[in-house]
């Protein structure tokens, strides 16, 4: 998937992936896509909840070998 910015939140634990994502989203324009890498299993539910509450769209969630990849489109 195409993306405009990438955030490496691997090794970080709650709530840092969300806080870093919020910051990274502030640096892209509306409609642009942020790719987020995470190793925190809790981030799967957290990013879904974050998207629901902020209106940013979670385009996809994938897991491979303990690593999670999210694509989020800025509102």
Q: Which residues are bridge partners to 57 per DSSP?
A: 73
Whole-angstrom Cα distance, residue 64 to residue 51?
21
Q: Is 14 noted as a catalytic residue in this protein? A: yes
Enter the tokens of residue 11.
């090794």
Q: Is 28 in the site for other proteins (CB under 8 A)?
A: no
Helices (H) and strands (E) in the chain, counts: 2, 4
Enter the tokens of residue 22.
């919020």
Q: Could you tell me which stretch among 19-27, 29-37, 57-65, 66-74 binds other proteins (CB under 8 A)?
A: 19-27
Q: Is 19 in the site for other proteins (CB under 8 A)?
A: yes
Q: Is 31 in the site for other proteins (CB under 8 A)?
A: no
- Tell me which residues touch other proteins (CB under 8 A): 11-16, 18-19, 21-22, 39-40, 50, 53-54
């Amino acid at each position: 998937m195409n993306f405009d910015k990438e955030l490496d939140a691997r090794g970080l634990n709650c709530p840092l992936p969300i806080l870093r994502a919020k910051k990274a989203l502030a640096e892209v324009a509306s409609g642009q896509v942020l790719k987020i890498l995470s190793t925190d299993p809790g981030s799967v539910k957290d990013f879904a909840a974050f998207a629901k509450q902020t209106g940013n769209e979670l385009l996809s969630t994938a897991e491979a070998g303990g690593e999670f990849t999210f694509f989020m489109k800025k509102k």
